[in-house]
Amino acid sequence: MTGRSKKPSPPGQVSDDDKDLWRRVTEDAKPLAGRTPPREDSPKAGTPRSGAKPRTTPPVPRTADSPAPRRPELAAGALADVDKRTADRLKRGKLDIEGRLDLHGMTEEEARREVGGFLADAQAAGKRCVLIITGKGPGREGGVLRRALPQWLNQPGNRARLIAFAPAQPRHGGHGAVYLLLKRSRGT
C-alpha cells in the first residue's frame, strides 16, 4: 500500500480503485479449456442473481497453470510430508544430487529469480533432489541469501514444487547450502 488511508467502499460495492486493480491482476488470465470468459458488458458479468448478495470481492480465476491453493509453510528440516526413510536420506545427504545452483556473487533479487527458474527447470526435467548453495555469510545468522532462501522457497510458485528442504551435510556445503526434495512433475 502507499501509506495513505483509503475510505472503504459501502458494503456490497467495489471501489473503482479495486476494480482497476482486479482488471490489472487478471488481464493475463486465460479461461479454462472449453470455456469463454464473460464479456464485461454482458448482463451476467458482475450482475448478482436475483435474491443473491452481491460479491464484495471478485472470484479468483484458476487456470491449468495456476498453482494449487496455499500450502503450509515449509521449514528447514521439517520433513512431515516425506516417509521416514526418504527424510533420513535427505538429511544425511544420501540422495543423489541431480542439480546444483550456486548463488555466490548474486544480488538478492538476482538470486531470488534464479531460485525460481532453477526449481521450475529442475522439476520439469524430472529431478528429485537438488542443492542450492547460498554461502554461509558472516556472523551467526549468516548472509542475506542464506536468511532469505526459506522465504523464497515458501513463495507459492516455489512451494508448489517442493516436498521438503534441509541443511546440507558438510561435504556439500554445510549450513551454507540446502538440499531440496522436489515433487515429481505431473508430466513424468
Strands 100-102 and 129-133, by their bridges, are parallel
Burial of 16 (0-12, 13-18, 19+ CB in 10 A): exposed
**Non-local CB neighbours of 73 within 8 Å, separated by 6+ positions:** 154, 159
Tens-place pLDDT, residues 95-114: 999 999 999 999 999 999 99
Tens-place pLDDT, residues 72-82: 667 766 666 77
Strands 177-182 and 100-102, by their bridges, are unpaired
- pLDDT confidence tier of residue 45, bands split at 50, 70 and 90: very low
- pLDDT confidence tier of residue 27, bands split at 50, 70 and 90: confident
Supply the pTM of this predicted model. 0.59
Domain ranges of the chain: 12-66, 84-182
Averaged confidence pLDDT in the chain:
79
CATH fold for the domain made of 84-182: Ribosomal Protein S8; Chain: A, domain 1 (3.30.1370)
Q: Which pLDDT does position 11 carry in this prediction?
A: 63
State which amino acid sits at residue 142: G
